[in-house]
Amino acid sequence: MRFDVITLFPDLFTIPLTQGVTRRAFDEGRVQVRTWPLRDFGEGPHRRVDDRPYGGGPGMVMLYEPLERALTAIRAERGDEQPVPLVHFTPTGERIDQRIVDDFAAGPGAVLLCGRYEGIDQRFIDRYVDRELSLGDFVLSGGELPALALLDAIARLQEGVLGDPESHRQDSFSDGLLEGPHFSRPETLPGTADAVPDVLLSGHHAAIARWRRERALDLTARRRPDLIDAARAAGRLDAQDERFLKSRLL
């Protein structure tokens, strides 16, 4: 899969794509990323890409024509019979979740548009943008951080990227729930009574799996009850899960 990124700050992508476990996805070409500096498509000797908004008001607006030239160049180089979607990162977009990540991770890629300033000329959005995504209910300086977050989440799902292929299946949201707590050595912290739960030392795999499931259910019910409702509606909770959740309320 290939992602083309339209950005005013291509250098922001250098370090995140070459560090950590997800770099395997990029180094081995499982996820290809090419950045397209928008100023290369700007107007005049100063490569202008923004101007004041009509109607007045603060800030600057990214111009239609440089964006169109950049997108035309990307589509010409890709040569896809069916153009991949153009994704715009904006606070008004759909919030990114694991379902969206899974979707992209199984697809051919996308063009990622990283806006800046006050916004993008609405005519470009209306004509070309296929999907609008948001990282959450807050405002960032630009779309680069959401783009990087999406790329990282996609990369770690690719085969051979994580050391243990089962790792991502135990992550938060993989089954609709938050992931429960983890423990490692020492078994008891020096000078305290804080110890690893006995069940994790038992070697009883079924009991351990059930304990982890219940901790995930408990944590999700306390912090994100909306996810419990969604998991129930999707049929992801069995009778044992429901009994445990009911016992918490007694």
**Tens digit of pLDDT for each residue in 14-64?**
999 899 888 889 998 999 999 999 999 998 899 999 999 999 999 999 999
Which residues form the catalytic set? 91, 118, 156, 171
Q: Under DSSP, is residue 155 helix (H, G, I), strand (E, B) or coil?
A: helix
- pLDDT at residue 165 in the model: 52
**Which superfamily does 2-155 belong to?**
SPOUT methyltransferase, trefoil knot domain (3.40.1280.10)
User: Which helix (H) or strand (E) element contains residue 248?
Assistant: helix 239-248
Annotated domain spans of the chain = 2-155, 172-248
- pLDDT at residue 175 in the model: 82
- pLDDT at residue 212 in the model: 96
- pLDDT at residue 160 in the model: 82
Question: What is the number of other CB atoms lying within 10 angstroms of the CB of residue 238?
Answer: 9
- For β-strands 50-51 and 61-62, DSSP reports them as antiparallel
Please state the pTM of the whole predicted model.
0.85
Residues 6+ apart with CB under 8 A from 146: 89, 96, 114, 133, 134, 135, 140
Q: How far apart are the first and last CA of the chain?
A: 50
- pLDDT at residue 249 in the model: 86
**Which superfamily does 172-248 belong to?**
tRNA(m1g37)methyltransferase, domain 2 (1.10.1270.20)
Q: Using 50 as the pLDDT threshold, list the residues of the chain that sit under it.
A: 168, 170
Query: Looking at the DSSP assignment, which residues form a beta bridge with residue 3?
Result: 33, 110
